[in-house]
Amino acid sequence: MTRELKYLRLLSKSFPTISDATTEIINLEAIMNLPKGTEHFLTDIHGEHEAFAHVLKNASGVIRKKVEDIFGHTLRDVEKRELCTIIYYPKEKLSIIKKREGKEIDDWYKMVLVQLMKVCSNVSSKYTRSKVRKALPKEFSYIIQELLHESLSEPNKHDYISAIISTIVSTGRAQHFIVAICNLIKRLTIDSLHIIGDIYDRGPGAHIIMDTLCDYHNFDIQWGNHDLVWMGAASGSEACMANVVRISLRYANLTTLEEGYGINLMPLATFAMEVYGNDNCSLFKPKENKDEPVKTKHVRMISQMHKAISIIQFKLEGAIIDRNKEFQMEDRKLLHLINKEKGTIVIDGKEYKLLDTNFPTIDPADPYKLTEEEQETVDTLMHYFLNSERLTKHMRCLYNNGSLYLTRNSNLLFHASMPLNKDGSLKEVFVLGEKLSGKKLFDKVEKVIREAYFNERNKIKKHACKDYVWFLWCGPSSPQFDKAKMATFERYFIAEKETHKEEKGYYTKLKDNKEICEMILEEFGIKDRHSHIINGHIPVKTGKGESPIKAEGKLLVIDGGYSKAYQSQTGIAGYTLIYNSHGLQLVQHQPFVTTEKAIRDGDDIISETTVLEFSNKRKLVRDTDIGKELQQQIDDLIQLVSAYRSGTIRENKWKINK
């Protein structure tokens, strides 16, 4: 009772009178009865910044559908398409339209302003005026509020509204106003955005995606394995850094490293050309990349750099494995098994011929020791990673807005896997000497990831945590990987496909089992019959008939191939899962062409929507996690009002008079 009274007294400072408290109760109760905000779920974007940006701008086709619903047959298809393009790319499209309309541009402005206000009124209708007001650009806040809450169809206000619109145009502010309205429409259409991992690698613009997210109004990230390897590099893990550089070279994706983060690869290039000057390193030729085509004269240099960093990576990883026996990854140390004279390697008792036998930096007597030049290269590259201002900003953003998993509105979000035993029970995994499973495992792993970056007081602990982040990237039973091995060496150097196989963990094999998914949900405290696990990580081969809906609807795997590298497997170009007040929809996207073509021709991403769950009874804010928090606030305020009325706490008359 004493603790409760102390809390109520603190609460009374914010609500010093009965009137203040009851007014807030009324406000909160009103909010509780609004439709829930729309959540969008995306995953495995892998640097495809243009497609990602367009999906955000068109809200995965939602804006196009709203324009269709509002204007129906009152506008021609070409006019509706142009209106959508204006909403998506207002500045760019307006510059084209101004040239087209010439002297008639003012009349066009008046027409499109009316159309845009109708769309804006529609998307803002499910929110309180207070929430909409907070989202308004300050410059036009009052004007937009007037236009939103009045109508041209109202006879008494027709001239008033017409005068506002005419004045916006006559004062030369139409273009700025249109941009502001379009940005507001996009902001209100997506209430919250969930990114279920893998922003980085393969595509050219992970840094651009991160710029967008760091300025986004409401988002969260469930870290994927590709995000974690970058986070490990930014924490100071040399092995993670080597993996990041290797993958960038493998996919000829150097823009993010060099232009995005200012990572100077010249030290690596200099070292590689010195060591592999007479080696064309053909096995390390980068994959074809239409986004960043490599000039023929540069292919050899990139191939040499690719091989150099790969050998460095294998050495660094060998050292981690030696000092972390609990990882049980001794089978991933392969350099000491190379027979240089025979040009072979023995793996699991079988001898294989190597496709490349030129290893000038590997000392058979101490194969995992870096040469002086290799160590110098590592140190220089690590310096660039640790001192990149933009990378530091983006990593802070990942940590501040991210987590290993998230429970939200009866859904469990995590990127890849839940370690399981063969019988489907939760598997215990070592985490820095502690054996854990299920939710406790995830909570501990997240703590370790954060310590790897933030712990500056205990250098020994920080070093161990950095090693564990590397383990999460490629270790068996890692929730972010969960395969028996990452066969990087074998894929480079051995022709036999049997060595390339990466045996998946039991979660992948058992995840179509409804009972197992329900067991995992219950482990995280979720028992709602409409609950789901939402994953990414493994591309769904939609083109071959595979469904993203697993375990009788309990599991949704929404990696549909935003990455161009996977689209040949998936047959599509990504999914968006949309959870609005009526239920769940899965939106399947076709490949995005270019931003330039979208602006010029009004091309949109062709998307197909499948309704997964629908209810005529709309889900309200009171039915969500936010609703539970608001209900607690209401209960506390009711107690405060009771305390005022009983005399237990006195109203603050000074504040009333003031």
What are the beta bridge partners of residue 607? Answer: 589
Query: Which residue matches tokens 């003012």?
Result: 106
- Both tokens of residue 591? 């490949």
Instruction: Name the DSSP letter for residue 378.
Output: H
237 touches 469 (CB < 8 A): yes
What does each C-alpha distance from 307 to 277, 311, 315 come to in angstroms? 12, 6, 13
Give the integer Cα–Cα distance in Å for 441 and 444: 5
Residues 6+ apart with CB under 8 A from 366: none
The pLDDT of residue 297: 77
Count other C-beta atoms under 10 Å from residue 527's C-beta: 10
Question: Could you tell me whether strands 575-580 and 350-353 are parallel, antiparallel, or unpaired per DSSP bridges?
Answer: unpaired
- What pLDDT was estimated at residue 224? 97
Residue 566 has pLDDT above 80, yes or no: yes
- Please report which confidence band the pLDDT of residue 214 belongs to, taking 50, 70 and 90 as the band edges: very high
Q: What pLDDT, on the 0 to 100 scale, is given for residue 130? A: 86
Residue 233 has pLDDT above 60, yes or no: yes
Identify whether the C-beta of residue 47 lies closer than 8 Å to the C-beta of residue 227. no
Half-sphere exposure of 127 (CA within 13 A, CB side): 23
Give me the mean pLDDT over the 432-460 stretch: 96
Averaged pLDDT for residues 459-478: 96
Residue 603's pLDDT band, with cuts at 50, 70 and 90, is confident
Report whether pLDDT(207) > 70.
Answer: yes
DSSP assignment string, 257-315:
IIIIH----HHHHHHHHHHSTT---GGGPPPP-SSSPPPHHHHHHHHHHHHHHHHHHHH
Q: Residue 124 above 90 pLDDT? A: yes
Least confident of 114-123, 145-154, 246-255, 311-320: 145-154
Which of the two residues, 148 and 474, has the higher pLDDT score? 474
Q: What percent of the chain is predicted at pLDDT more than 90?
A: 85
pLDDT confidence of residue 658 = 47
Query: What confidence tier does 564 reach under pLDDT thresholds 50, 70, 90?
Result: confident
Give per-residue pLDDT as tens, 288-324: 777 777 777 789 999 999 999 999 999 999 999 999 9
- Give kind and range of the element (H or E) at residue 5: helix 2-14
Model pTM above 0.85: yes
Task: Report in angstroms the alpha-carbon separations of 33 from 23, 146, 152, 440.
Answer: 16, 24, 29, 35
Calculated CA dihedral for residues 181, 182, 184, 190, nearest 10 degrees: 160
Pairing of strands 411-414, 532-535: parallel
Q: For residue 345, is pLDDT > 80?
A: yes
Q: DSSP letters of 105-168?
A: HHHHHHHHHHHHHHHHHHHHTTS-HHHHHHHS-GGGHHHHHHHHH--TTSGGGHHHHHHHHHHH
Among 357, 335, 339, 353, which Cα is nearest to 495's?
353
Q: What average pLDDT does the chain have?
A: 94
Spatial distance between the Cα atoms of 98 and 291, rounded to a whole number of angstroms: 31
- Predicted confidence band of residue 153 (pLDDT cuts 50, 70, 90): low
Query: What one-letter code names the amino acid at 172?
Result: G
State the pLDDT at residue 34.
Answer: 92
**Interatomic CA distance for residues 72 and 76, integer angstroms:** 9
Q: How many CB atoms lie within 10 A of CB 229?
A: 26
Average pLDDT score over residue span 233-249: 98
Structure tokens at 462: 């920080």
Give, for 508, the enclosing helix (H) or strand (E): helix 506-510
Quote the CA–CA distance of 122 and 130 in Å, as a whole number.
16
Taking residues 468-487, what's their average pLDDT? 96
Cβ neighbours of residue 443 closer than 8 Å, sequence gap 6 or more: none
